Amino acid sequence: MYLWKCWRDTRSFFLVFLIGAAIVMPVAAVVCKGTGLVQEFGADAFQATFGLLLIAVALGLAAIGAIHEFGDKTAHFLFTKPRTRAYFVWVSWSVGLGELLAIAAVNFLAGWLTLLRFSKNPLHSPVIGPITPQLIEDLIMAIYTYSLAYSLTAVLRSGLKGLGAALGIVFGLPFLAIAVRWRWHINLPIPTSPIGHLSLVASDLTWIFIALLFVFGAQVVIERGEV
Amino acid sequence: MSELAIGVSGLTKMYGRLLAVKGLNLNVPRGSIYGFLGRNGAGKTSTIKMLLGLTRPASGSAHVLGMDVHTSRLPILRRTAFVSEKKNLPPSLTPAELVRFSRGFYPTWLDKAVEKYARLLEIPMGQRFERLSNGNQTKVFLLLALAQGAELLILDEPTTALDPVSVDQLLRVLAADGADRGTTVFFSSHQLEEVEQIAEHVGMIEGGRLLMESRLDDVKNDFRVITAAGSDLPREISSQVLSVEVKENFYRYVIAKDGESYARDLARNGATVTHVAALRLREIFLELVRKEKLCTSGNAGETPVLSSSSF
C-alpha cells in the first residue's frame, strides 16, 4: 500500500519525464534530418541529454517524493502507521530510484535505436570515442544526486530546502575541489570521478555506496526525530 | 492482560527548557470512554504524542494496551487508531484513496465501517482531501480511525472544525463504537460539554500536571457548591475545599468531596446554608484550574491531586 502511495505521489512527474525521455532523441533526429548533424554529433548530443535529463529527474523525484512523506504537516499520519520509519525512508527512496532507472532505460533505448538508424556503431562518437563509460558515469551521478537530494529533503522536511542544498552541494563541490587543489594542492574527490588510485569500477561502486550512506543518514535522523 | 488501556507513571516531557508535561500519572481503564481535558497548551497533545511514540519522554513510563511505548511501538500502533490535532493528510489523495492506502497496514481493517461512516458522516469520497471543507477533512480522519478496527482510539481534539450536528453525530458514533466492540476511547478536548455527554472517566491537566482523574459520575457526585450566610465562617482552602468567596456575610464554597457533610458542619457552626448544588464539569474544571494557578503562583500552597479510586 505504501508502494502504491509513493507511486501515486510521483506518477505524474514520472510519466511526463518518461515521455520526454522516449521522444527527445527521435524528435531531434527528425528535426535534423538531412543535415548530417545526427551522424556527426548524435552520440555526443545523446550523451549530454542523457546526463542532463537524469540530473533533472533525480532532483525532481527526490524533492517531490520525500516531501510528501516526511513533511511536518503529514508526518504524524505516516509515522503512526505500524511500520518502522526506516521502512518508509527506504521504500520511498526505492520507488524514486526505480522510476529514475526506468527513465534512464527508456532514454537509453530510444537514443540507441535512433542513432542505430544513422550509424552501425551508435554508441561511438566521432569526437570523443565510445560514450558508454560516460553514460554509466551519468547514471551513477544521477543516483548519487537523487540520494543526496532525497536525504536532504527528508531531513530538512522541505522539498525546496532539500533541492537547494543538494544543488549547492552537487554544483558547488567541483568548484570547492578546484579551489582546494589550487590553494593546498590536495585532490578532493568529485562525485563520479575516480577516487585516488581506485579503478573506475571501484570508484563507481564507492560513489554508489556513498549515495546509500546518505539515505542511511536520513533514516537515522528521521528515526531519532520528533514529530 | 492489563486492566488498563493506558497506564502512565511520572511522565515528563521537556521542549528545550520548557517543561510541557510534569510527572504525569494516568490510568485509563479498558473499554472506557476517557475525556482528557485541559486548556490549550496544557500538555494534552504532548502526552498523546508520547503515547504513540511520536516524541520521547524525558522521564517516566507509559504503557498502552499493556505494552511499553518505548519498546513496543509497532504492536501498539497496530492496535491503536489516532486522530491528530493537526487535521492534515496528503492533500492530493481522495478519501477513497486514503482508505486504500491505510487499509493495508491493519489486519483488523473494517470495510463495512468505511461504507457505514462515509454514508453517516456524508463524506465525499471522490474529492481530493485539499478541496474538502475543514469539517469534512476532520470527518475523513475519523473515518480512517474508526475503520481501523482498533482496540484503542486516541483522538486529539476530534471535534475541531465540526458543526454542532456533526459533533453530535461523532459523539454518538464514538459511544456506539465503544459499546459495540468494547473499544477504549481516549479523547482530548477543551469542549467540556462534549466530554460530559459521553465520557465515563475524565482526567484534567493544567500546566503539564494532572489536576484530577476520576469517574465522571463520581466527579459529579462529589463536587458541590455551597452558599451560606453567617459570620466568621471558615475560609481555609484544603484538599476538600477548593475555593471560598466571601461577600459581606455571604460565603460561597466549592467543595471537592463530601459536600453534604460539609454543609451540615457549616450549619452546626451557626451558618445558614442557603444553597447546596452539584457543579457542571465546566465549573469544576474552572475551579481546579483557578486553584492550580493560585498554587503555582505561590499563593495557596500545594495543589492536591484529586483522584477517586473507583477503577
Distance from CA of A72 to the nearest CA of B (A): 10
Give the range among A115-119, B28-32, B158-162 with minimum mean pLDDT: B158-162
Contact: B93, A73; criterion CB under 8 Å: no
Interface of B with A in 160-219 (CB under 8 A): none
Torsion angle, alpha carbons of A109, A114, A120, A124, to 10: -70
Residue-level pLDDT at B177: 76
Within 10 Å of residue A51's Cβ, how many Cβ atoms? 17
* Residue ranges in chain B assigned as alpha helix (H): 44-51, 73-79, 95-103, 111-120, 134-147, 164-181, 192-198, 216-222, 259-268, 281-296
Instruction: Specify whether the CB–CB gap between A138 and A51 falls below 8 A.
Output: yes
Give the pLDDT confidence score for residue B306 in this predicted structure.
46
Q: What is the mean pLDDT of chain A?
A: 90
Instruction: Look at chain B and count its residues.
Output: 311
Q: What is the rounded average pLDDT of the residues B108-132?
A: 93
* Per-residue burial over A192-209, b = 16 or more CB atoms within 10 Å of its CB, e = otherwise: bebbeeeeeeebbebbbe
Distances (CA, A) of A66 to A7, A95, A154, B75, B178: 12, 11, 5, 25, 37
Q: Are residues B45 and B194 in the same domain?
A: yes
- In this complex, the residue of B49, B78, B89 whose CB is nearest that of residue A227 is B49
Q: Is A43 helix (H, G, I), strand (E, B) or coil?
A: helix
Residues B37 and B94 in one domain: yes
Report the side by side order of strands in the sheet with B67-68.
B18-29, B4-15, B59-64, B67-68
Residues B36 and B93 in one domain: yes
- Do both B167 and B187 map to the same domain? yes
Work out how many domains chain A is built from and give that number: 1
**Does B249 reach chain A within 8 Å, measured CB to CB?**
no
The set of cell numbers assigned to A191 is 562525485
Given an 8 Å threshold on Cβ–Cβ distance, is A80 in contact with B82? yes
Quick check: B41 contacting A, CB < 8 Å?
Answer: no
Q: Distance between CA B114 and CA B110 in Å, rounded? A: 7
Looking at every residue in chain B, the average pLDDT score rounds to 88
Does B89 touch chain A if contact means CB atoms closer than 8 Å? yes
- pLDDT, one tens digit per residue, over B11-65 is 999 998 899 999 999 999 999 999 999 988 899 999 999 999 999 999 999 999 9
Last-in-domain residue among B217, B242, B273: B217
Residue pair A64/A10 in contact (Cβ under 8 Å)? The answer is yes
Please report the pLDDT score of residue A40 as a whole number.
84
A80 to chain B: closest CA residue: B77
Domain range enclosing B135: 4-217
Give the gap in angstroms from C-alpha A196 to the nearest C-alpha of chain B.
44
Closest A-chain CA to B100? A1
C-beta separation of B239 from B232 below 8 A: no
Whole-complex ipTM: 0.83
- Among B77, B101, B103, beta carbon nearest to A82: B77
Which of B217, B234, B262 lies at the terminal end of a domain, its last residue?
Answer: B217
A-side interface with B, Cβ within 8 Å? 1-2, 4-5, 8-9, 68, 73-74, 76-77, 79-84, 226-227
Q: Which of B46, B188, A129 is nearest to A121 (CA)?
A: A129
Give chain B's domain count.
2
With CA atoms as reference, report the closest residue to A137 among A38, A40, A205.
Answer: A205
- All 3 cell numbers of residue B237? 482552602
Report, as an integer, the average pLDDT of B270-279: 90
> Does residue B59 share a domain with residue B208?
yes
Beta carbons of A190 and A98 less than 8 angstroms apart: no
- Burial classification of residue B236, based on how many CB atoms lie within 10 Å of its CB (0-12 exposed, 13-18 middle, 19 or more buried): exposed
Search chain A and give the residue with CA nearest B15: A226
Give the residue numbers spanning the domain of A186: 2-224
Contact A77 B84 (CB under 8 A): yes
For residue A42, give the amino acid letter. Answer: G
- Cα of B197 vs its chain's centroid, Å: 12
Query: What phi and psi values does residue A128 have, to the nearest 5 degrees?
Result: -110, 0
d(CA B206, CA B37): 9
Nearest CA to B39 out of B191, B196, B222, B240 is that of: B191
- Retrieve residue B300's grid coordinates: 495557596
Note the pTM of the prediction, 2 decimals: 0.86
Same domain, B250 and B182: no
Calculate how close chain A gets to B212, using CA atoms only, in Å.
28
Q: Show residues of chain B in contact with A83, CB under 8 Å.
A: 74, 105
Asked whether residue B12 falls in the same domain as residue B69, the answer is: yes
Nearest to A77 among B89, B92, B104 (CB): B89
Please state, in angstroms and rounded to a whole number, the distance separating the CA atoms of residues A90 and A3.
Answer: 11
Contact assessment for residue A55 and residue A145, using Cβ atoms and an 8 Å cutoff: yes
Residue A18 above 90 pLDDT?
yes
Give residue B308's pLDDT band: very low, low, confident or very high (50, 70, 90): very low
**B98: nearest CA in chain A?**
A5
The answer to whether residues B25 and B145 belong to one domain is yes
Domain end, chosen from B162, B183, B217, is at B217
